[in-house]
Amino acid sequence: MDENALKHLVKLTQEGQLCSLENQLTLAGEAAAQTVRQKHFGRSGDTLLHYAARHGHLEVVKFLIKEVGMGVEVYNNDYKRPLHEAASMGHEACVSCLIREGAKVDCLKKADWTPLMMACTRRNLGVVEELLRHGADPALKNKDGWNSFHIACREGDPAVVRHLLLAAPDVWRTESKILRTPLHTAALHGCEDVVRILLERCGFAPDGPDSCGVTAFMDAVRNGHIAVARLLLEKHQASPTAADILGAQPVHQAAVTGQQEALRFLVRELGVDVNQTATDIQLTALHYAAKEGHTATINTLLELGADLHVRDKKGRTALHMACIGQHAEAAGTLLQLGLEDTEDASGSTAQQLAKKPDVLRVFQSGLPET
């Protein structure tokens, strides 16, 4: 069977044209069937069974297994089995069929992902239930230390999260290799309903840190998820001033990511000191915002009472930081606001730290080039 004929079989499989696929293989004879059983296509190394499972063509899946004789444990270049494909795309009937035909429910693809993990990336409770009914283990971890519950919390489907807790009540007691918990994950992605479930049903310690000292509250704030942050304050006694291993507090992290509403929430509603310093070199939120080039955030911080003239331990102002980050607009804004270009503790001016032509031109005009 030549390559064009084989490519045509792929097309028929992807489109679910069972009759045409059956006719083509019948006409080609047993030699063609033998080829199809062994053939891997393209860079991914998928087989026809992979394609059929991925597209949810149940009758084609059955035909390839029962009539053509393809093995259900055939894998591609990423060690994905057809069961991974069906689970990841939410095709419950194909998942059931493959398991009935002998597919291993906890088979591993590259990076140690199971079909259940793949299913949890989709909001499809039926597939998750089917895999669990056949013995899938939600506590298995991939190479990053994530289990299926971590993944479900990232995707934010309350029904899937509740079902996993029902099936394995202790599945929440897990940390990734960098000590991230499912609560971190849900907070980071703003999954308010899932965070509420986790706080009601699980026993996460308030302000539990990951390996960088980051708490779930920090994750929520630095990504602008204020509703989640409020929930953690009210139901979990989270601290709005906890610091990571570098000494950065939520107010600094929100400045780094340019989350202006989160900054207003921290300062106006929670009374956080906008001029609080972080790290041994005493950087403020204004320093962080300037280094990242967040001009609008600089203005917000000043509205909230940030000290324009504060210096870090090295004698650097926000203008120095804007030039270190090579941000012309931020540097121009700070100059317009009246911040003078003075020397830091090493004798360097902000202008001397500027490398890009558009940043250097700011010091001549006082305005960024448009």
Q: Examine the pLDDT at 330 and tell me if it is beyond 90.
A: yes
User: Using the 8-state DSSP alphabet, how is residue 342 labeled?
Assistant: -
Residue 67 pLDDT grade (very low, low, confident, very high; cuts 50, 70, 90): very high
Residue 364, pLDDT score:
82
Neighbouring residues of 78: CB distance < 8 A, sequence distance ≥ 6 = 44, 45, 109, 110
Q: Are 133 and 115 in contact (CB under 8 A)?
A: no
Nearest 5°: the CA angle 182, 196, 129 is 65
- Set out the domains of the chain in order of their start, with CATH numbers: 273-370 (1.25.40.20)
Structure tokens at 357: 């032509």
Q: pLDDT per residue over 170-207, tens digit each?
A: 999 999 999 999 999 999 999 999 999 999 999 999 99
| Per-residue pLDDT reduced to its tens digit, 40-60 | 999 999 999 999 999 999 999
Q: How sure is the predictor about 370, in pLDDT bands with cuts at 50, 70 and 90?
A: very low
Q: What pLDDT does 1 receive? A: 74
Q: Is 41 helix (H, G, I), strand (E, B) or coil?
A: strand
Q: What is the pLDDT of residue 367?
A: 54
CB 331 within 8 A of CB 350: yes
